[in-house]
Structure 1
Amino acid sequence: MAHTVTLDKFLLHATDGPSCVAIRHETPSPVLPPAGVEFRTVDGGDAKTLDALFDAFAKVWEFPPWFGGNYAAFDDFMRDLDNMTDKALEKPPARGYLTEVTNSHLLLIDEPEVFSWFANKMSFYRDYYRDELTPPAAFALLLSAPADKLHEVGERWLSVGVQVSDVDA
């Protein structure tokens, strides 16, 4: 993991930097996303399996009822966050989409074979929001974990080829 940066700086560089995934020490104080960033929180304890992950993301990002609960549908809706948040509420386009995963050491813990797929999709979504939206937007994932689990979480992501930044949020 690299040196620690602020959440603002991480999001600024998430679109073109080496990583759109960051880790932070889980604290009782909530994450305060920068202005203009759509922000949601998923509890990794509620996303230990693929089906639970789909349900958790569908709930917090308000996927429509016809969400199919499969890989292709997840990809479609994760690349449609702008239509589900900005246009539906008739507000200016977000400058970023940030999902915090609390208890991230538990994320997909019951289905480790799925973890690599999920982890490696983050850059796919990042590239979509950077390259396909006008104006472009940041896409990032913030992993929060207890202090004694931070190293484990970082190593797990690195083991599947995903770089993780350290964030002081």
Structure 2
Amino acid sequence: MTFGEWTAWLRQHGEAGVFFIEPGERPDLFAAARGLDFATVRLDLADCRRSDDLFARMAAVFRFPEWFGDNWDALADCLADLSWWLARGYVLVIGNSGAFREADPASWRMLLDVLADTADSWRDAAVPFWSFVTDPPADDA
């Protein structure tokens, strides 16, 4: 997509969810998101093999409060709150997920479910929460 196409699509909070994109689309995506005053987050899962690693990386990139509990419920709660990082919308781009997806496919599927649920919960407040994966989708994604 072009910068203009990303800008138009990101404005549609009702369409927000989890999507797979080509790595080359990131620059225009981030530029469009920043132009809309959206918070942008890059989550690099290189060398991530377990949910513990994932939780630590999510906590760092989203600046979770110290009370974050390093579990799926706490992840969902923090992503549905984000009161410490108010924005007009959120764009998360996940890269290098292959090793994590292979090492812990159940946690990968859980992450995608949590992100989809997060988009749904923010939709009610008309705040888009977009998640993009720059790796090709796995057969079970």
Question: Given the two structures, how large is their TM-score scaled by the length of structure 2?
Answer: 0.80
- Alignment gaps of 5+ in structure 1: 87-93, 146-152, 161-169
Match of 1:159 in 2: 140
**C-alpha separation in 2, matches of 1:35 and 1:109:** 35
How many percent of aligned residue pairs carry the same amino acid?
Answer: 23
**C-alpha separation in 1, matches of 2:8 and 2:26:** 19
> Deviation string for 1:73-103 (max 9, x for gaps)?
111101112x0212xxxxxxx2211111122
- Alignment gaps of 5+ in structure 2: none
Choose the corresponding residue for 2:98, options 100, 105, 127: 105
Offset of residue 159 of structure 1: 2.9
Match of 2:134 in 1: 144
RMSD: 2.4
CA 1:85/1:113 → structure 2, altered by over 3 Å: closer, same or farther? Answer: same
> Deviation string for 1:100-119 (max 9, x for gaps)?
11223344431112122111
Q: Assess if the C-alpha contact under 8 Å between 2:7 and 2:36 holds in 1.
A: no
**C-alpha separation in 2, matches of 1:11 and 1:106:** 29
> Deviation string for 1:113-153 (max 9, x for gaps)?
2122111222210111111x3xx2001111123xxxxxxx2
After TM superposition, the structure 1 stretch with the greater mean CA deviation from structure 2, 107-116 or 64-73, is 107-116
After TM superposition, the structure 1 stretch with the greater mean CA deviation from structure 2, 51-60 or 94-103, is 94-103
Q: Assess if the C-alpha contact under 8 Å between 1:46 and 1:56 holds in 2.
A: no
Q: Assess if the C-alpha contact under 8 Å between 1:47 and 1:108 holds in 2.
A: no
Q: Partner amino acid for 1:39?
A: T
**C-alpha separation in 1, matches of 2:26 and 2:14:** 29
Q: Assess if the C-alpha contact under 8 Å between 1:20 and 1:123 holds in 2.
A: yes
CA 1:69/1:106 → structure 2, altered by over 3 Å: closer, same or farther? Answer: same
Aligned length: 135
